[in-house]
Amino acid sequence: MSKFIKINEITISSDHYIGGQRVAAEHYLEVFSPIDGQVLGQVANGSPSIINQAIEAAERAFPAWAALSAAERKVYLDKFADEIGKRADEFALTESTDAGVLFSRMQHGVVGRAQLNIRHFAEHALRLQNHSIDTKQAEHLVRHDPAGVVVIITPWNAPLMLSTWKLGPALASGNTCILKAPEWAPCTSSLLADAAQAAGIPPGVFNVVQGTGLESGAGLVADPRIARVSFTGSVPTAKLIAQSAAQNLVPCSLELGGKSPFIVLATADIDNAAATAALMYRNAGQVCLAGTRLLVHESIKDEFVEAMRAYVEALNVGDPRDPATEVGPIIHQRQVERVAGFIERAKAAGAVVLWGAEKHPFGELYFKPTLLTNVKQDDEIVQNEVFGPVLTLQTFSHDDELIAMANGTDYGLGGVCYGEQQHATEIAKRVRTGFIWVNSFGIRDLEAPFGGIKRSGIGREGGNWSFEFFCDIKDVVVPKKPFRASFSQR
């Protein structure tokens, strides 16, 4: 018998979505809301037989979907985006309740971005097959052919945005997809299946498997029938995925964590920089690209701290469904314990608390925005990702010292640099990272590359970079003169 989760008047299937149908499971997992810790219901856990069903369904659907032109696939994908839009309020409330993200941000930003992810890459795919390289000897017709069955694994902090960010180019390329829903926040993945079905996406082209990473995720990644694995999440999980996929030489795209520098030069607009720094507490700090290491010129440190304090004290911590809320809950009790553990160890190592560093009275999974100073470069709190509302503050006196600090971790995802525009841009060029914002934060374009270096990941997403991963690139060589084979030819 099929199971369902009810969030207000929204009915969400708890079952897998395979081959265009809901598929029940032998075992189900409880799902909690981080808002109040209440059980939302149960979702299916993927067994080996479920994994096999999903892969078989995707394999059956692949030849017909791959045979369509990019324009024909675009018709389906535009309808898919339309269906997401029709369910905008459902997606917003569901993800807010399930993952604890801000309802207002879902409603006014994320759902629209999810639609754009699908539409943009469907449009981009139209341009891919027209590329040729004209040389003296031949015309090289460069093709982006679909790779096959793709596994997409997304984290719990932004399920809808990150799922569609990967599904857009994967489906537009002609691949068939299996989305592994995040264990702690699976509900919007299930709603995506409803939207795909309503859009008429052919059975087996898009499938959703739920469950734990150790069972569902590991089973999918290890299967030799998988052509690509796209993962966003933690470094330890990425290592397991890469090791497993390597057994079958399956390419992986890995967008991982960050410990990004937030640089404030002596010439910075201090108030603007402080206001932006307070944004790092958004989503309770559970954002991989947040600038969590504040590196502030020593001459403006006190002024910057007081300006930032005013913005932080004005932040509303509370129920993420309330439009006035700016900082919601941490996803799970285990994550709260992780955050608290980092802070206690940092304090024991000599860190000084400027604000926060304790649970917020609003609820069990709420934590006060925190800033720690008097930290050393090799301290755990500086070197490792906390993934909570915790920032550190260090000062510098000259550019070379700053660059050494900014580049002095094993991560390299993002960064922020505030200061006089030319100077800030020159500093940004020297920071070893996948991307960095100058006098800004969060500006994204789907044509631009996104990804990290070092422990922050492998590969890039966005524009042609997404298609280069999800496609098999083929060179069709057409000679300009009659060709005759010769043993002397090189």
**Residues 90, 95, 215, 255: which is the catalytic one?**
255
Find where tokens 């990290």 sit. Answer: 452
Identify whether the C-beta of residue 276 lies closer than 8 Å to the C-beta of residue 263.
no
E strand intervals along 298-424: 352-355, 370-373, 390-396, 411-412, 416-418
How far is it, in rounded angstroms, from Cα 357 to Cα 441? 25
Which one is catalytic: 288, 385, 417, 471? 288
Please give the Cα distance from 125 to 136 (Å, whole number). 28
User: Which two tokens mark 71?
Assistant: 């324009």
What are the start-end ranges of the E strands in 103-225? Answer: 132-134, 138-146, 149-153, 176-180, 206-209
- Cα-based distances in Å from 271 to 156, 307, 309, 454: 32, 6, 11, 32
List all residues 6 or more positions away from 475 whose beta carbon is below 8 Å from its beta carbon: 140, 141, 142, 143
Does an H or E element contain 272, and which? helix 270-278
297 vs 281: CA distance, rounded Å: 21
- Segment (H or E) for 473: strand 471-479
- Both tokens of 320, joined, read 């993420």
Concatenating the DSSP letter of every residue in 202-270 gives PTTTEEEE-S-IIIIIHHHHH-TTEEEEEEES-HHHHHHHHHHHHTTT--EEEE----EEEEE-TTS-H
Residue by residue, DSSP assigns 56-72 as HHHHHHHHHHHHS-HHH
Q: Does 255 participate in catalysis according to the annotation? A: yes
**Residue written as tokens 């006035």?**
324
139 in active site:
no
- Three-state DSSP state, 153: strand
Distance CA 104, CA 70 (A): 34
d(CA 151, CA 154): 10
Enter the tokens of residue 442.
């969060």
* DSSP notation for 384-412: S---SSEEEEEEESSHHHHHHHHT-SSEE
Task: Provide the 10 A C-beta neighbour count for residue 447.
Answer: 10
Among all residues, which ones are annotated catalytic?
Answer: 255, 288
